[in-house]
Amino acid sequence: MSDLGKGTRGERRPPDTLVLLLALAALLALLTHVVTPGRFASVEPGEGRQRVIAVDSYVANADGPQGVALFASGGQPGFLNAWFDGLVSGSRDGAAVGVVAFLLVLGGAFGIVLRTGVFDRSVLALVRVTGAHPLALFPVLFVLFSLGGAVFGMGEETIPLVLLLAPILVRLGYDSISVVLVTFVATQIGFATSWMNPFSVVIAQGIAGLQPLSGAGLRIGIWAAFTALGAAFTVWWALRVRRRPESSPAYATDAWFRERARAIGGDEGRLERGDLAMIGVFLAGMAWVVWGVTTQGYYLGELASQFLAIGLAIGAIAVAVGRLGVNELADAFRDGAQVMLPVVLVIGLAKGLVVLLGGTDPATDSVLNTWLHGGARLLGGMPAEIAAVAMLAFQSAINFFVPSGSGQAALTMPILAPLGDLLGVTRQVAVLAFQLGDGLTNLIIPTSAMLMGVLGAARIPWLAWARFIVWPLGVLLALGAVALLVAVAIGWS
């Protein structure tokens, strides 16, 4: 027992993400034995409208707590069933099944691309030309990724870009945390402060009875302030890491990228025959991906197929110029998919936590519905300013169990919007509290398939990331509370 949590040489290691999630699953399973599940009565207000949950329609299960078993059969939730149930939950367009399939295909496709070495040689060529001083790119990249999150809800799309940028920035003297900051963190800041994201703010406004894109002026101002702050923090961190690389929490895990750089050698900084063609295919493929997401509504299934096509096309060029053999392409695909396996396991177990609580359907008995009802009652009678900030805290907590923006909007906004009317909190403010609580906490919750996919691609353990991001996240949430107080003070509607 004294060796628990220690490495092979006896050094103490922090608990693995799977250990933490399994312990949390055990705690939630125990809570189902003491918390009574319940449901909400709901109505369909009309064709083309979101389902509305009646605020006072909560009904607790008459039989009391239902308590999940250690092992269950027939599709019932059980502690030992949670991992499997989490892995097979959802659909092709969501967690866990869709995200798992996307990550495996994506990992395999990028395994082929990385095996060709084209990006390694391109990076070293860039270093030779620029002198390894691309720091001016960080603010530009941060703003672009933030716009992606604000305009079309960019999230999972950052995973392949992390796979691409992590080797590049580590070779230039930065770390994989800088990569996650300038990509995923930027998108989630944009997502949280968006004025037009169709997957969160537009849905929430529709449920709350507001016109889509209403209140855009204040939201754009909040987006600009949060994005500027995030970009400044990213530049500060990148400068610090470049001066003292060993100070990064990801220094040990970034060794994988550094070893790859040494393996390439000093003579590989010149682009070889076929490299320009591979780069051209990759750029054309990324343009195809952007076009599909922004104009055709492509999502996980289409994105996986697009990246597979990019990987196969680049692999075919590598075979044609004699860089790789056909069997090497198969090996590279398997190796790339294997890298994503730890992420897949985390995503499945994280989704299993929600299954243990009974799911997210407001019309089905679940512990989550009971907690939602309790939170709504807790808000009752509060002054408007305190209620607005409490809504932010409430949405942040709910996001742990429902990390989907559209899913959380459908679950919470039908209750909080009319409740806000009683508390003097305008529905526009209630929507902003939902946005900020949903988007910002995506930066830390291990139940977010997006976050775990990004961290897997960057090879950063979740606990190391959580320790790093907890204080910046606290600052962002505090600023979010200030934004809500200002919105209440000016009567924003």
Average pLDDT over the chain reads: 82
**pLDDT tens digits, residue range 9-66?**
444 555 666 787 788 889 989 999 999 999 887 655 544 444 556 667 888 888 889 8
Across 263-284, average pLDDT: 73
Confidence of residue 96 (pLDDT cuts 50, 70, 90): confident
Weakest-pLDDT range from 128-142, 198-212, 231-245, 260-274: 260-274
**Alpha carbons 341 and 283: distance in angstroms, whole number:** 27
Give 169 or 423, the one with higher predicted confidence. Answer: 169
**Alpha carbons 156 and 187: distance in angstroms, whole number:** 10
Cβ atoms 380, 423 nearer than 8 A: yes
Classify 459 as helix, strand or coil. coil
Cβ atoms 53, 24 nearer than 8 A: no
Highest mean pLDDT pick, 96-100, 244-248, 357-361: 244-248
Confidence of residue 129 (pLDDT cuts 50, 70, 90): low
Residues 6 or more apart whose CB falls under 8 angstroms from that of 196 comprise 150, 151, 202, 212, 213, 216
Domain ranges within the chain, ordered by starting residue: 97-345
Inform me whether the pLDDT recorded for 477 exceeds 60: yes
Confidence of residue 8 (pLDDT cuts 50, 70, 90): very low
